[in-house]
Amino acid sequence: MKNDHAGTVTMKPIGVLRTAAAVIPRHWSVSRTPGTVVIDGEYAAGLNGIKAGQKIVVLFWFHRSPEFSLSNLRQTPPHRQERVGVFSICSPLRPNPIGLSVLTVRAIHQDKIEVEGIDMLDGTPILDIKPYITEKENRSDDPGEGA
Amino acid sequence: MKNDHAGTVTMKPIGVLRTAAAVIPRHWSVSRTPGTVVIDGEYAAGLNGIKAGQKIVVLFWFHRSPEFSLSNLRQTPPHRQERVGVFSICSPLRPNPIGLSVLTVRAIHQDKIEVEGIDMLDGTPILDIKPYITEKENRSDDPGEGA
């Protein structure tokens, strides 16, 4: 990711999501669908420390979303009646279309993570993987600097 | 965010984090430090539906991080003895330096969110704001499509 010029940043995906699932659930919170995060070989060493059974946060690019326009600042989510602000919902149509899924690690190989709980399409570019941290407490397993 | 050319995406911050705090905690999970997310005016309508008391996920750009190199694929986090993969920790030095913080909303104004729990520096560019969802369940307050 580079600061190319005033106010913009350029990112390069670190890998891709693969799944054979024909139907993709609308959200990870209601998904048990399996898939595989395939990391570009040069980044494989970055997976060290991720273990089967844990949850991870996967940030990805909503690469199929149409270009965002200001008319999309308020949207009506499925099963709701009112238009609400894009930053209060999980719509893939957003100013910076970064998706966030919390996935369960089923197995890990050199450059692949078998996961459960996907809500991404096959071919989705992966931008980052982070540990899943929920508790507001002093932790013995230090999350490291920053966020 | 645009797909400029093969394999890269360009993002434009939607706002900036402001804080007067002199000391910034190393991680949101151990922070009660206050700050203000100031959204660019054109995106202010996107905040509709965010309410005081709720938690939000804020994605931001680690704009002070040095350029990532492959020698940083394994890092030694603070208070740990071993080098581990960057994708298993929260280091700001990562291939795509996107930060993630879970913040509590204290108050909301037209284009500003007063938050508690920051771990970002004053001036940090904000990339996205999402609802904070933790439960793997069928939800009545539908999180909307995608992640």
Residue B125 has pLDDT above 50, yes or no: yes
- Work out the average pLDDT over A92-113: 96
Question: pLDDT tens digits for A28-38?
Answer: 888 899 999 99
Q: Please say if the pLDDT value at position B147 is more than 50.
A: no
Q: Is the pLDDT of residue A15 over 80?
A: yes
A59 reaches B (C-beta below 8 A): yes
pLDDT bin (cut points 50, 70, 90) of residue B30 is confident
Share of chain B above pLDDT 70, in %: 87
Higher pLDDT, B139 or B79: B79
The whole-number pLDDT of residue A6 equals 54
pLDDT at A134: 82
pTM metric for this prediction: 0.89
A12 in contact with chain B, both atoms CB, cutoff 8 A: yes
Per the prediction, chain A carries an average pLDDT of 88
* Residues of A with Cβ-Cβ distance to B10 under 8 angstroms: 4, 8-11
What pLDDT, in 10s, does the model give residues B2-19? 444 458 999 999 999 999
Interface test with B, best of A96, A111, A126, A138 (most B CBs within 10 A): A96
What's the pLDDT tens digit per position in A76-96? Answer: 988 888 999 999 999 999 999
pLDDT at B141: 47
CB contact under 8 A, A30 and B77: no
> Buried (b) or exposed (e) across B26-41, using 16+ Cβ within 10 A?
bbbbbbebbbbbbbbe
- B55 to chain A: nearest residue by CA? A88
Query: b/e map of A33-68 (b: 16 or more CB within 10 Å)?
Result: bbbbbbbbeebbbbbbbbeeeebbbbbbbbbebeeb
Percentage of chain A surpassing pLDDT 70?
Answer: 87
B48 contacts in chain A (CB < 8 Å) = 74, 83-85, 88
Q: pLDDT band at A144, cuts 50/70/90?
A: low
Q: What is the pLDDT of residue B144?
A: 52
Q: Does A43 touch chain B (CB under 8 A)?
A: yes
Residues 71-90 of chain B with CB under 8 A from chain A are: 73-75, 77-80, 83-90
Shortest Cα distance from B36 to chain A (angstroms)? Answer: 16
Which residues are CB-neighbours of B81 under 8 A, at least 6 positions away? Answer: none
Interface check for B25 against chain A (CB to CB < 8 A): the answer is: no
Closest CA to B31 of A93, A76, A146: A146
Residue numbers in B near A47 (CB within 8 A): 85, 87-88
Q: Between chains, do A129 and B43 touch, taking CB under 8 Å as contact?
A: no
Start-to-end Cα distance in chain B = 17
Q: What average pLDDT score do residues B40-53 get?
A: 97
Q: Does B38 touch chain A (CB under 8 A)?
A: no
What is the DSSP secondary-structure string of chain A?
-EEEETTEEEE---EEEE---SS--S-GGG---EEEEEE-GGGGGGGTT--TT-EEEEEEE-TTSPPP-GGGSEE--TT--S-EEGGGS--S-SSS-EEEEEEEEEEE-SSEEEEE---S-TTPEEEEEEE-----S--SS---S--
Domains contained in chain A, CATH given: 11-65+76-131 (2.40.30.70)
ipTM, two decimals: 0.89
Q: Is residue B74 over pLDDT 90? A: yes
Which residue would you say has higher pLDDT here, A135 or A27? A27
